[in-house]
């Protein structure tokens, strides 16, 4: 570690594993400029000349005619780091280093367990622990339904991963996935007022994963599967749904599908198309792609094409009524195209048909840039920057828990998607603001209403 003017920075660049390509990771540059017109503009021009996009810019402080800036850019491992020297060579700027702001926000973890009642007297201690708690334990023994009222289970979700498909990083293992699971738990707490408990397991085979989860499920009102790789994720979720009498949801499939369906409803509307009556093409049939296809079928879309480099994935599509084809055939036939491959630039601009709707949802680099797609005739195009499953899972689980649902149904997922679509405000907005807590409350209410009694 180095310190510059009291600001802590990272000296060495972290390296991240690749998963089918080069992933962009935010880097936060710390740059000092002389406080005069054009100083900052010259720094930003150097960054632009390096082909990088600035995601965020913050002035940290101004002192004695100089300003210290944090500039957030997305850089992959192959990006040219000589731009640091070029910034430092400017007569009115100095490259200080890279900020550890992200690490600071993770230091010590992002979640903790807190008591819901003050334990500040001996009587309170005796009531919430021994001997008073024995009365509650015996009441639940005699009537298990009492656990709904006298434990936290009805607002507690297990967030379980084996780390085989973490974000865009791939199989980095369960421990490396823990910060992601903590992030999900923090979002549950902040956006939906429910508790999420991260659980890491080291097994990858469905036959061993399922008994582990089934053995601990009693502590939780619902199970969220997170970052399990395809195709194992399908078998794991299916068997858990069969065995457990509570909601189980693989977020990479169904949370993504809910937000994608909301975006498609609005994207089709903006292009003056009727979603159910059009040919929809899904590029990439992994967890997210198959989740989207399944929900579209449930929503009433009859004609769905799909393509994937894995023949087994295409077979799964065809087993639920989709049609496999090549990428070029899909682009020729589909009115609405969804891509979830993680492959930058996969869709060639010349393949775009006039009037198509294209949602290239891979982050941070889409299969085709929306502006390019529109320039080549797309009626509407968007990328995945705003299509984030954080819009879905907090409300989905809160609604299911409040309804005491025994499983997630297609009706619950579709209710969430239609609610999200209806909450988008601007005409060009596909989905609402994920930080708007009222959005999550309305999604939860819609899911609760759609949960059939005893479902």
Indicate which residues carry an active-site annotation. Answer: 129, 184
> Residue with structure tokens 């005893």?
454
> Which positions ≥6 away from 319 have C-beta within 8 Å?
none
Crossing angle of helices 287-299 and 251-270, in 10° steps, is: 60
Q: Which two tokens stand for residue 75?
A: 């850089």
Distance of CA 181 to the CA centre of its chain: 11
Q: What span, in angstroms and rounded, lies between the C-alpha atoms of 328 and 406?
A: 42
- Continuous H helices in 306-436: 311-319, 327-333, 370-375, 393-403, 410-423
- Find, among 179, 212, 2, the residue nearest to 106 by Cα: 179
Distance of CA 21 to the CA centre of its chain: 19
Task: Give me the residues paired with residue 224 across strands.
Answer: 159, 249
> Which positions ≥6 away from 286 have C-beta within 8 Å?
230, 308, 313, 340
């Amino acid at each position: 570690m180095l310190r510059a003017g009291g600001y802590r920075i990272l000296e060495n660049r972290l390296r991240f594993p690749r998963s089918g390509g080069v992933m962009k990771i935010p880097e936060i540059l710390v740059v000092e400029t002389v406080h005069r017109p054009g100083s900052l503009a010259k720094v930003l021009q150097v960054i632009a000349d390096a082909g990088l996009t600035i995601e965020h810019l913050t002035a940290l402080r101004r002192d004695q005619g100089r300003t210290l800036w944090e500039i957030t850019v997305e850089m992959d491992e192959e990006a040219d780091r000589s731009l640091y020297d070029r910034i430092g060579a400017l007569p009115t700027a100095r490259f200080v280093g890279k900020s550890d702001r992200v690490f600071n926000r993770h230091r010590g973890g992002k979640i903790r367990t807190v008591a819901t009642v003050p334990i500040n007297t001996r009587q309170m201690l005796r009531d919430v622990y021994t001997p008073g708690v024995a009365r509650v334990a015996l009441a639940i023994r005699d009537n298990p339904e009492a656990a709904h009222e006298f434990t936290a289970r009805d607002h507690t979700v297990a967030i379980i991963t084996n780390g085989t498909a973490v974000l865009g990083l791939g199989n980095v293992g369960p421990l490396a996935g823990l910060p992601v699971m903590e992030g999900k738990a923090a979002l549950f707490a902040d956006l939906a007022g429910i508790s999420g408990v991260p659980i890491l397991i080291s097994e990858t085979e469905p036959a061993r994963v399922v008994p582990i989860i089934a053995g601990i499920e009693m502590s939780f009102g619902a199970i969220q599967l997170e970052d399990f790789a395809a195709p194992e994720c399908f078998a794991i979720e299916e068997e858990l749904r069969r065995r457990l009498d509570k909601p189980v949801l693989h977020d990479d499939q169904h949370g993504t599908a809910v937000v994608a369906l909301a975006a498609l409803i609005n994207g089709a509307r903006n292009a003056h198309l009727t979603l159910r009556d059009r040919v929809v093409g899904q590029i990439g049939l992994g967890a997210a792609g198959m989740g989207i296809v399944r929900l579209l079928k449930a929503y009433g879309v009859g004609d769905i094409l799909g393509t994937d480099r894995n023949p087994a994935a295409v077979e799964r599509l065809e087993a639920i009524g989709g049609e496999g084809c090549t990428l070029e055939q899909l682009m020729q036939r589909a009115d609405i195209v969804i891509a979830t491959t993680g492959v930058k630039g996969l869709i060639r601009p010349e393949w775009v048909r006039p009037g198509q709707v294209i949602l290239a949802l891979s982050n941070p680099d889409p299969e085709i840039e929306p502006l390019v797609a529109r320039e080549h005739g797309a009626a509407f195009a968007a990328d995945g920057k705003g299509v984030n499953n954080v819009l879905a899972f907090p409300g989905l689980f809160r609604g299911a828990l409040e309804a005491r649902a025994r499983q997630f149904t297609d009706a619950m997922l579709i209710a969430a998607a239609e609610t999200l679509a209806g909450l988008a405000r601007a005409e060009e907005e596909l989905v609402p603001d994920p930080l708007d807590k009222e959005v999550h409350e309305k999604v939860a209410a819609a899911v609760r209403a759609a949960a059939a009694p005893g479902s």
